[in-house]
Amino acid sequence: MNLTKNPHVLIVDDIKANVLILENLLTKDYDISVAYSGAEALEIVSGPATPDLILLDIMMPEMDGYEVCRRLKEDVATRNIPVIFVTALSDVDDEAKGLALGAVDYISKPLNQYLLRARVKNQLELKHHRDHLEELVRKRTEELEITQEVTIECMASLAECRDPETGGHIKRTQNYIQALALKLRDNPKYKACLNDKMLNLLYKSAPLHDIGKVAIQDSIFLKPGKLTDEEFDAMKKHTTYGRDTIRSAATKLGHDSFLRYAEEIAYTHQEKWDGSGYPRGLKGTEIPISGRLMAIADVYDALISLRIYKKPFTHTEAVNTIIEGRGSHFDPDMVDAFISIQEEFRQIAIQSADFEEEKEALAEPYRKSPTQVTIVDD
């Protein structure tokens, strides 16, 4: 309710004399609009001048007040408008029916003008306080969301600083995982769990998948050549380091904090569908959905990225590698979803490429794939 102008009251009654009485009682303090039928009332409410309160008669032809109230309460856009029934029906059952439909009050005719004004004023004040509370909640929610994003960005920037040549990797994988999760919702097995809230948290959490690499020695993390077995074992620990770092930050927030998926992704994105991954050798659906999604996003990006030890793969080479890993490295359902949106992955990669050479390779989506490729842990 906007307090910079008078509250807007809509009077709905098919008898003009009744409307005139209500107008005379209220016009001094409120902006008044009038409807002489239920259909006209619904049309006014759906327009730009939404009323702050509705005074609604019950006994009207074609569409009675009960039906008008029912439709108002079914519509998300109008359900919070307080409705006061003003009617000649004075039976207790009639009043109970009106209140059950969502009306906030019930005034019987003949009217007591003082009672009418008092009840209208009370309901408008209650609406003002409720609207104010909802606005405070909305602003607080926005502040919390900004805090979440800033927290994640600050933590992710630590990992990015270790390797300034991979600045786009975080953004790309974030967009890959969002696109793949959205497509996966077409699969009935995943539709329920991949709701809007989870998708939002996955998108926010994805940048932290490699946060544990901050704890890896420079001599290993920045080594230009192939890692020894001992060095690779040390590199593998980035998943555990990542989990521990995020878990430590999330301890005070509880298990269902916004960092829950970040912890899952950091710890499980190197697991493989056949159980040959690390750190725990999880198999199949033992791997959280978040980890399975990131596995595809991370590997695709590692393949199409330029590194000191390799040239970027073409899009086709990267796609074929993902396909080869279907049922061994990757969840088959997720590979199928990936194949259907592979062009979207390519466009994301082009838009956030770190080097011109990567864009050139991605512009060659039909170059023949090599017979054997190595999946790089990025």
CATH of the domain at 57: 3.40.50.2300
Q: Is residue 3 part of a domain?
A: no
Per-residue pLDDT at 255: 59
Per-residue pLDDT at 142: 81
Tell me, yes or no, if the pTM score tops 0.85.
no
Q: Which long-range contacts (CB under 8 A, 24 or more apart) does 162-166 make?
A: 162/213, 162/214, 162/218, 162/221, 162/222, 163/221, 163/222, 165/306, 165/307, 165/308, 165/354, 166/305, 166/354, 166/378
Count of domains forming the chain? 2
Q: Is residue 82 part of a domain?
A: yes
Would the pLDDT of 1 be above 60? no
Per-residue pLDDT at 254: 65
Q: Indicate the range of 6-20, 85-99, 177-191 predicted with least confidence.
A: 85-99
Cβ–Cβ contacts within 10 Å for residue 66, how many?
Answer: 20
Per-residue pLDDT at 156: 75
Residue 281 binned pLDDT confidence (cut-offs 50, 70, 90): very high
Which domain range does residue 71 map to? 8-131
Q: Are residues 44 and 174 in the same domain?
A: no
| Residue 370 φ/ψ, nearest 5 degrees | -65, 160
Q: Are residues 107 and 205 in the same domain?
A: no
* pLDDT higher at 181 or 169: 181
Average pLDDT along the chain: 88
Q: Is residue 371 part of a domain?
A: no
Q: Are residues 191 and 306 in the same domain?
A: yes
